[in-house]
Structure 1
Amino acid sequence: MTKTKKRKETAFEMTIRHLRIFIAVHDSRSMTAAANQLFMTQPSVSQAIKEMETYYSVVLFERLSHKLFITEAGKRLYQYAIHITKLFNEMEESLKESVAHKKLAIGANYTVGSALIDRYIQRFNELYPDAEIRVYINKASVLTEMLRSNELDLALMEENNQPDLKKEVFCDDRIVIVADPQHPLSAKVPITAADLANERLLLREKGAGVRNLFDSRMHHIGLSVQPYWEGTSTTALINAAKNRLGIAVLPFQLVRDQIASGFLKELRIEDMDLSRKLAIFYHKNKFLTDAIKEFIAICRAFSGPS
């Protein structure tokens, strides 16, 4: 009986088909919906999931009240499955094409997306005019989840620590405090963090990288942050500062022209370090194609001044 069981186990081979079925079930949370999506019968889908669960001695989905709930083992498998299937698809596309066709899905936070990404893409297109590039601009928390679900090949955003992502710093950056040149604090020397706490602060929304850094630095000093204006639009915050509605906290890259032209003045804060670094992130299981490596090299070579 032991020998028979062993033959059954070794007869099973995990295939791309199994992984695609698993992904479809995971995303739809339904064997029937996955079967319809894949043009299969529902018993065939159920059998494929059962084969994986039996072979690896795990439960991938809990079946409760006719609903499917992903288990921890299922979540781990999903992370591998989406990367393996995408890599397999890329291999097939590469082998079918007579000329290498560069495809990239790139994420960028608002700083990189507004001030830096265009020069990187322009240079990449000069080297590969037939390249297909998709760009997604959002805050770091959203981009991080897109990397995990393999919707992005890489993302350019503020440096942070994520155990499942690899990173490579490519640019120095800093957060600046800006106000109308006629603002009373513009003539004060020195300016301290305590001075800011008493002013009308124009801030990005919670979760944005610039806001997280500012809140963290203020909290470290022992000061709380109560924004007068809070929003997702950098342009709105800049205009509010220019119209003397308060003091804006923004990435230098996004207000450098306003500072250079004299429309805004940077307020140097004596007791607060708001420097940061921008980094390239990709999933630790990501296979770095030549296109990805070349884009990373361009980011390093053409990083903007801070």
Structure 2
Amino acid sequence: MFDLYLLRYFLAVVESGSFTRAAERVFVTQPTLSAGIKKLEAQVGQPLFERSSRRVFLTDAGTRFLPRAKAILHECNMAMQAVDDAPVRPVLRIGLLVTLPNRVMGRLLGAFHDANPSVTLEITDGTEQELLNRLDDRSLDYAISIDRGEGTYPALLLKEEAYVFIVARDHGLSGRRHISAADLREERMIVRSRCEVLSETSRYFTDHNVRPRLVYRTGNEGRALAMVAAGVGATVVPEGLVDDRVSSMTLTGFPYRRRLALLRPRYALSPGLEAVARCFEDSVKTHLGEGHGTAVP
């Protein structure tokens, strides 16, 4: 018999890819989480993770164990809801891709709340994979994320946007429409550590034998934009993150784009949420669909 907290530890490691980040997510110390994973592995009788110096990966046994662990926690959550007889406000659980523009997300969710004050929104930030995992275990109803066109989830396509190179307004490259890798040999670069095309960006410079100086690394999109605007460095961002503090341009030979979509649930929502869900979809289309205006982070 597994303790439920051990399953939560296990899923936290899977979603975050790190024991350190997983411990932060479940509000325990890393030694406590590691001890819990060892206890779970002892109960299972096989190792669930392969550990390296930088990241952890599921073993074959862990891969087989994952869907069952998600199902167990989901059923427990449903059981708790079933025995709660107290009247509750409708709850819509939304996942937001971490690289979406902050102010646009604020306007979207604020407008939806104003139009539906009786609805409680539970909002979760995550990477593309983290949001997919949460849709899989039904801890999210919707996710605003990237659509890879694989049909894993019903998707409402919102917009497609290119990745561009940005610098401060007073930078020497500001005002140009296009730049090449060669133009950036002496450039100071800011690394957006949660960027979906981080590997492609690194490979682009390597293939062109360019080694820009890395001066700052952050997973905070607002901080990255502020540092570019201040002249600390430059970076690659999706067009939706560009605002009037920076100057953007096309990076020659860097063709990557992303498709933003509202990923819908594969299961039927409860009758009480159907009308709420329709309102939410309409609000998302209004604020994020093509032609909604320039996005501001």
Q: After TM superposition, is the score higher than 0.5?
A: yes
1:268 match: secondary structure: strand
Q: In the alignment, residue 27 of structure 1 is paired with which amino acid? A: L
State the aligned residue count.
242
Q: Are residue 193 (structure 1) and residue 169 (structure 2) matched?
A: no
Q: Are residue 239 (structure 1) and residue 226 (structure 2) matched?
A: yes
Question: Quick one: distance in 1 between partners of 2:161 and 2:127?
Answer: 16
Q: In the alignment, residue 105 of structure 1 is paired with which amino acid? A: R
Residue 179 of structure 1 and its aligned partner are, at CA, apart by 1.2
Residue 219 of structure 1 and its aligned partner are, at CA, apart by 6.9
Aligned to 1:230: 217
Cα deviation 1:186-212 (Å, max 9, x = unaligned): 36574223323552221201x432535
Q: Cα distance 1:106–1:23, how it changes in 2: closer, same or farther (>3 A)? A: farther
* 1:281 paired residue among 244, 247, 263: 263
Bigger Rg, which one: 1
The answer as to whether partners of 1:23 and 1:82 remain within 8 angstroms in 2 is no
Aligned to 1:123: 111
* 2:293 paired residue among 281, 300, 305: 305
Question: Quick one: distance in 1 between partners of 2:189 and 2:265?
Answer: 36
Aligned to 1:27: 7
User: 82-91 vs 112-121, which deviates more?
Assistant: 82-91
Residue 67 of structure 1 and its aligned partner are, at CA, apart by 2.0
Q: TM-score, normalised by structure 1?
A: 0.61
Q: Cα distance 1:113–1:154, how it changes in 2: closer, same or farther (>3 A)? A: farther
**RMSD over aligned Cα atoms:** 3.9
Cα deviation 1:1-50 (Å, max 9, x = unaligned): xxxxxxxxxxxxxxxxxxxx889497279xxxxxxxxxxxxxxxxxxxxx
1:134 match: secondary structure: strand
Question: Quick one: distance in 2 between partners of 1:185 and 1:219?
Answer: 18
Cα deviation 1:69-113 (Å, max 9, x = unaligned): 5856654444445556656776787x975xx84211111123436
The answer as to whether partners of 2:178 and 2:249 remain within 8 angstroms in 1 is no
Bigger helix share: 1
Q: In the alignment, residue 251 of structure 1 is paired with which amino acid? A: P
Residue 296 of structure 1 and its aligned partner are, at CA, apart by 2.3
Aligned to 1:271: 253
* 1:152 paired residue among 132, 135, 140: 140
Q: Cα distance 1:82–1:214, how it changes in 2: closer, same or farther (>3 A)? A: same
Counterparts of 1:137-176 in structure 2, within 5 Å, are 137-160=125-148, 164-176=152-164
Q: Cα distance 1:242–1:75, how it changes in 2: closer, same or farther (>3 A)? A: closer
The answer as to whether partners of 1:191 and 1:269 remain within 8 angstroms in 2 is yes
* 1:294 paired residue among 275, 279, 282: 279
Counterparts of 1:255-270 in structure 2, within 5 Å, are 255-258=242-245, 264-270=246-252
Aligned to 2:237: 250
Mind listing any 5+ residue stretches in structure 1 that lack a counterpart? 1-20, 30-62, 259-263
The answer as to whether partners of 1:102 and 1:132 remain within 8 angstroms in 2 is yes
Question: Quick one: distance in 2 between partners of 1:300 and 1:273?
Answer: 26
2:148 match: secondary structure: coil
Q: TM-score, normalised by structure 2?
A: 0.63
Q: In the alignment, residue 250 of structure 2 is paired with which amino acid? A: R
Residue 133 of structure 1 and its aligned partner are, at CA, apart by 0.5
The answer as to whether partners of 1:175 and 1:274 remain within 8 angstroms in 2 is yes
Q: In the alignment, residue 119 of structure 2 is paired with which amino acid? A: A
* 1:107 paired residue among 70, 95, 110: 95
